[in-house]
Structure 1
Amino acid sequence: MAHKEHAAVYMSNLRSDMRIGDLKNFILFLFSKILAVNVNKNNINVITSTGNYSALIDVPSEDDIEHVLQHLSTFESRRRLAFNFMNIVPPGQMLDIKRFKLADEEQAIERFPDISERRIADYGNNASKFYVFGAKMGNETRNTEFKKAGGRYMETEMRKDVPNYLCGFLNSGVRGTLMFGVLDDGTVVGVECSHNQEDRYRLDIDCAIKEIEPPLFPQHYKVEFVQVVEKSLIFKANCKVIEVTVEIPSDQFKLYKTRDGVFMRRDGSLQVITAWSDVQELTHLKHRDGVNQLYAEFRMQLEKKERTIETQAETIQHQQHDLQQYRAMQQPKSKICVIS
């Protein structure tokens, strides 16, 4: 059976400190408006199981891939585009972009098993995020922690793990996600979760987060119940992956703690801080991250000001040109009388 050609571009070293939806919007603007490549938001798959995010963007043809690579492969070519790449790339890093072409979607999943966000095309506008049972999501990283959550874990251990792991993400200055229903090796198995259980787990998670000091406000975290489906895309009844994601607060210099102590994230593990040297290291890291964030915000504001000044200068030039034309039209014209 012939397969539909799969033409795509793979981008890595993307920012992990923003919402996936916002990152998709910036990538969509870059491809559709700046590069004039016909893609939509559903063509952009964000991969979150690495330190920094990456993305797989489906494009219509091989010619579009050549067009994208021509404009994005080098720093010089990117510099000529009217796009602020700090919107998608962390400060101090360079965008990495490659060709990605496979026969069909199944091979794409085999090559990139950590593509965790898929969508069911048959559901049209009601398409939702889901995970495939048995799929591999890669390894645990500084940004992600997996928990099988089998047996009575959700009733006995979950309320202890939530504040400790979120505290580790916060103190490490990363946007982190704690995922229940995923094995340590990244295999999706899901958690038994009916609608009633979903309400109870959400309440338990909210109560657990209240144990974090200083207080973490609702706008700084979110809880998602993601449906698990079979490989045939048939829903598994009452089977979900529970995601608890914490955002980076605006105050980078706070140290967070729980009743079990002060935690920080190192690679894919959680460590409790006991030695003074560790406290000093953590304080240094948070100060550095805070400075980097302030620098990035300063650069963004500076570029915004520069664009505003350029726009105002162009407006003034147009106004001066219009004024000169108006004055020329108002000058009295000499009348010549011809006597024959």
Structure 2
Amino acid sequence: MTIDIAGLPAERIVFEISPLAELGVALHALAEPGHHPGLHGWATATAASLKPDLADRLHDADFLWRSTFSDVFMPFAGLPGGAGRTGATVAEELDLLDRLDDERFVASALEFTCASTYGTGAPSPLTDPARRERALDLAATRGPRQLDFTRRLLDDPVSMRAWLRRLLEDCDEAFFADTWRRVSPQLAADARHKTEVLRRKGLAEALHAVSPALTLDEARGRISADKLADGRTTAVDPAVGGGLTFLPSSFGWPHLMVLHAPGWRPVVHYPVGAPDLPGPASVELLKLRMEALAHPMRMRLCRNLARAAYTTSELADGFGITAPEVSRHLAVLKKAGLISTRRRGRYVLHQLDVPAVARLGSDFLETVLR
């Protein structure tokens, strides 16, 4: 994953905090506690305190933060010609979200149906019939809730935008405002520290302080993020306005996320702190599982399966290989006890067993999840 920064003025590289982005990651931790071993207590207590109506609405929209981290949580980066600065409160950042046009909002909300075109752009499903049908087809493989949400969003984006804003406002009132008061001082301190490192020691040192997965190629004017994903973006697009934002997150580990959608300012969302993982599996089981993961294609499949359940045909389409090839790889992973399967109607969904993989050690887990 690369970010072109050639010619970007130093003052356009900023470390900030974002309450809306942190709310998005907190919702992800609620939906996928297996990704976040150190947050089980918080996730359990928070989930137990939710009123049934709010819990049901979160369930209806959890694909916005469960399998992908939707860019709707970072609207400051999607306003062409804007200042590219975060808001001080969830309400302020929701106001920025309201300023996104319908096409940009819908594309961001439907990231779970367009992963293969996220980094290259595609016609809007609001105006292009083929993209609309493709979005609906992919949503159908995710389940009836996702299909219903997608259909409503495409038919009436204004109402769905209002529905989502109310949902996030209710989350802020129910639990996140207190959480933000607790974590924001740590995040603000981290942003100030990284800003000082950037000012005194330069970008390379600041990147290393953010994550060892980030490196700087000064000669080529490029930042690289070592992730099991391919993508490229630029921080010097004149149509957008030059800038690169770094956001710390207390809920994010082990995810290191890079917003690289065309027409958006790039954002690096990085974790602060890393909890301890469970101990390793037995030698025999570890050997079997590491052999299963030795193949590079199975590693890449694990990146998707760690985030959500997928059908064989979805994986084949996303990686450009045949369904039988995918099936053979899945069979090896299943024999090693690393994936689970379940049936939803006529679809068979496969998903990585995150706790089992966690026992392989933090290096592998961080790689497939970041």
Q: Which category describes the TM-score, using the shorter chain as reference length?
A: under 0.3
Q: Which has the larger radius of gyration?
A: 1
Report the structure, 1 or 2, having the larger strand content: 1
State the TM-score, normalized to the length of structure 2: 0.25
Higher relative contact order (CA 8 A, sep 6+): 2
The structure with more helix, counted as a fraction of residues: 2
Question: So what's the TM-score if we normalise by structure 1?
Answer: 0.27
